[in-house]
Amino acid sequence: MKPLHHLSAVELRDAFVKGEVAAVKIVETFLKRIDKHGKELGAFLSVLGPRALLKAEALDRKRAHNKPLGKMAGIPVAIKDNMHIAGENTTCASKFLQNYKAPFDATAIRLMEEEDAIILGKTNLDEFAMGSTNENSAYFPAQNPWNLKCVPGGSSGGSAAAVAARLSLIATGSDTGGSIRLPASFCGIVGYKPTYGRVSRFGLVAFGSSLDQIGPLAATVADAALAMEVIGRPCASDATCLDLPPETYSLLPNLKEIKFGVPFKFLESLAPEIRANFDQSVAVMKSLGAKVIDVDLDLLKYSIAVYYILATAEASTNLARFDGIRYGARSKHAKNLEEIYELSRKEGFGPEVKRRIMLGTFVLSAGYQDAFYKKAQKVRSLIIDAFEKAYSLCDAVLLPVASSAAFVAGKFRDPIQLYLQDIFTIGANLAGLPAVSVPSGYDQNGLPLGLQIIGPQLCDVPVLQYAHAYEQATKHMKIPPGYTA
């Protein structure tokens, strides 16, 4: 048998179910890897060793007694630290929630545990998921396992780094503007943002409620699909969660009769290297029998402006609850109510979070709301219409995930320049569409690149089927050099 961390999650699950490997052995192996590589990668904010071992022992007993095992039996999973595990810390990589113990389980986490996944720990992120490099963590940044000087992408940077370096085989992420897909692309793994409402947000600390979606990061499309089978379920505790039966993700690698739309005009300014990689991917799709047509998604050029108005508006109210009254950090210097609010938030939040709260408060203010928030809502509707129009002509849209490979930490001093990195991913959030990032090769520095496939709403299964077909035809995914051993 190959080393455990060279197996896919599905392969490892099968090996465990067949009795080829004990769950305790799996946990020990991955805890050891976390121990060895976790620090240099900054991937984990907390490691839940004893909890994982308890679960593993229980699974081994279960298997010994021939009791039925769950769909994710024995699979090590890492949880982005903005999702609740009852009784464990949820820090959101913020000083404000340094000692906050989650009072309940996030639905997605509970579902995975019920299917016998083993939770290893909580992964690093940009504070409150605000960022695309993971540099905004209040504790320490996460690094890219392909080059430790480079960012892993964000905001689910810890999750992406952990899976890429095989410190875990599956990790959860949350994607508000690309926070699953961008780090997946930067780290050379698969990242999937489901249709808005497919996965319950109950227990996910909200950033932009109308955009947030939980999804998996994994080494293969099949592994991501397995996670989706488990977490893509209705939830009575989330009013926006779709009341649809869970889907079966059968991955048929056949693209005949499939039509992909590409917004060629929108891609005109793409860097040559990224363009070449994208063109290659399009050629692969054609070689698999798919047709490729031109679609008009020019409106996406407004998506960043729209996003940074709507997401920050929602965030400014979502984060209003962090006031130092009921939980979280209360400033020791506060002498009255006003100061509890002001100082607790001043001391508890990092600069990017403050920037976004101020921006969101501003765009909702009387006198500015029409010019900003309401106008952005209108443009959001137009972007939704543009996608609908595109889908009347094609089955899915192909785009790069990012305009570059991972870059060196600290490269962007100007937040606006950094915000522009999300240009290709935000559209799917604004329109609530399912979108996957799948490895599409490497740049001249050997850093991974990603292809994005965006489907119509509810087409979660087809999107992963297309991604699977592409993945099987290309097999770009590799374990980064320093982490194969």
Partner 1 sequence: MKDLPYDLWEPVIGLEIHLQLNTKSKLFSPAPNHFGDEPNVNISVVCTGQPGALPVLNKEAVKKATLFGLAVKAKISPVSTFDRKSYFYPDSPRNFQITQFENPLIRGGTIVADVNGELKTFPLDRAHLEDDAGMLKHFSTFAGVDYNRAGAPLIEIVSMPCMHNPKEAVAYAMAIRAIALYLDISDGNMEEGSLRIDANISVRPKGDKNLRPRAEIKNLNSFHFMEMALESEISRQITLYTTHPHRPPIELIPPGTYRWDQESRQTVLMRAKESADDYRYFPEPDLVPVILTQETLDAWATALPELPHDRFKRYVTDLGLTPYAASTLINEKNLSDYFEEALKHCPHPRPLCNWITVEFIGRLKESGKTLTNVGIPPAHVAKLVTLIEENKITGRIAKAVADEMLLNAGLDPEQIVARNPDYQPVDDLAIIEPIIDQVLKDNPQSIADYKAGRDRAFAFLVGQVMKLTRGKASPQVVNDLLRKKIG
Among residues 373 and 387, whose Cβ is nearest to partner 1? 373
* Closer residue to partner 1 in complex, CB, 312/440: 312
Specify the 3-state DSSP secondary structure of 424: coil
Cβ nearer to partner 1, comparing 33 with 380 = 380
148 and 40 in contact (C-beta within 8 Å)? Answer: yes
Residue 155 known to be catalytic: yes
Q: What is the DSSP string of 280-316?
A: HHHHHHHHTT-EEEE---GGGGGHHHHHHHHHHHHHH
Nearest CB to partner 1, comparing residues 377 and 474 = 377
Tell me which DSSP letter residue 4 carries: G
The H-assigned helical ranges of 191-265 are 221-231
**Shortest distance in whole angstroms from residue 98 CB to partner 1:** 13
Q: Minimum Å distance from CB 370 to partner 1?
A: 12
Q: What's the closest the beta carbon of residue 242 comes to partner 1, in angstroms?
A: 11
Q: Which is nearer to partner 1, 319 or 399 (CB)?
A: 319
Cα dist from 279 to 11, 264, 457, 465, whole Å: 32, 10, 25, 20
Give the residue among 181, 191, 419 at the shortest CA–CA distance from 306: 419
With respect to partner 1, which residue has the nearer C-beta, 107 or 134?
A: 107
Task: Choose the catalytic residue: 8, 55, 80, 440.
Answer: 80
Q: Which two tokens stand for residue 151?
A: 């960012």
Q: Which is nearer to partner 1, 205 or 217 (CB)?
A: 205
Q: How many CA atoms lie within 13 A of 217 on its CB side?
A: 38
Choice between 60 and 127, CB closer to partner 1:
127
Angle at 433 between CA 204 and CA 364, to 5 degrees: 60
CB of 326 to partner 1, least distance (A): 6
183 within 8 A of 147, measured Cβ to Cβ: no
For the CB of residue 434, give the shortest distance to partner 1 in the complex, in Å.
19
Instruction: For the CB of residue 210, give the shortest distance to partner 1 in the complex, in Å.
Output: 4
List strand residue ranges (DSSP E) for 333-425, in order: 396-400
The residue from 94, 132, 137, 155 that is catalytic is 155
Give residue for tokens 């909200």. Answer: 206
Give contact residues for partner 1 (rule: CB under 8 A).
83-84, 90, 92, 97, 100, 102-104, 106, 201-206, 208-210, 236-240, 313-314, 316-317, 320-323, 325-327, 337, 341, 361, 364-366, 369, 373
Positive or negative: CA dihedral 309, 311, 314, 316: negative
User: What is residue 270's three-state secondary structure?
Assistant: coil
80 is catalytic: yes
Strand order, beta sheet including 170-175: 44-47, 118-123, 76-80, 170-175, 213-218, 190-193, 435-442, 448-454, 396-400, 259-262, 291-294
Minimum CB–partner distance for residue 338 and partner 1 (Å): 9
Q: Which of 94, 132, 159, 179 is catalytic?
A: 179
CB distance 26 to 53 below 8 Å: no
Instruction: Name the residue among 49, 46, 50, 52 with its Cα closest to residue 92.
Output: 46
What distances in angstroms separate CA 309 from CA 80, 136, 206, 312, one per listed residue?
A: 25, 20, 16, 5
Q: Does the bond joining 155 to the residue before it have cis omega, within 30 degrees of 0?
A: yes
**Closest distance between partner 1 and the C-beta of residue 202, in Å?**
5
Please confirm, yes or no, whether 95 is among the known catalytic residues: no
Catalytic site positions: 80, 155, 179
